[in-house]
Amino acid sequence: MTTVLYPGTFNPLHNGHADLVERAAKIFGRVVLGIATSPHKSPGDLTVRIDLAKEALAHVKDVDVIGFNTLTVDFAREIDAEIILKGIRTFTDFEYEFQMLNMNRALKPGLETVFLAPSEEFSYISSTLVRQIAGYGGDVSQFVHPAVSRALADGTI
């Protein structure tokens, strides 16, 4: 069974992320959504992000949601992931992720990276934009799972 790691801070997890998980679950045997701590991003409470992601992805078979506080390659090694999954929306995303791909290869030879573009209806969604809209009291329900929408509205995340 091939394990693919989809790492990120997922602050918050949005429908574009869920779309990639759903599609990856059809391609790979096991998907691990690895929710990272990230001191330079200040993504908020890890436990809350994990719980929300578990709720939002409960309908997807063979998906595990696990938090981590290490290098992505070390976490990949820990869970026996052979592949890292990254979503690419823009050329800027690709430039950054390609640099990370090469760094990860240097740190863990043999670890592959697969890029998936989001479905068209999710291509413009980003966690940053969702947080900004929610921060101004805007309705983000069309971009995120209902549990995430509630957490944003009540200030949990």
Respond yes or no: is residue 119 known to be catalytic.
no
What is the number of other CB atoms lying within 10 angstroms of the CB of residue 48?
Answer: 15
Active-site option among 30, 127, 145, 149: 127
Rounded Cα gap, residues 101 and 84, in angstroms: 9
3-state SS assignment for residue 147: helix
**Residue 59 is a catalytic residue:** no
CB-based contacts of 107, cutoff 8 Å, min separation 6: 71, 73
Please indicate whether residue 127 is annotated as part of the active site: yes
User: One of 23, 54, 77, 89 is an active-site residue; which one?
Assistant: 89
Angle at the Cα of 65 from the Cα atoms of 8 and 136, rounded to 5 degrees:
55
Are the CB atoms for 29 and 3 separated by under 8 Å?
yes
Could you confirm whether 131 is annotated as catalytic? Answer: no
Catalytic hit among 26, 38, 41, 119: 41
128 burial (CB, 10 Å; 0-12 / 13-18 / 19+) is exposed
Catalytic pick from 17, 49, 86, 145?
A: 17
Please give the positions annotated as active site: 17, 41, 89, 127
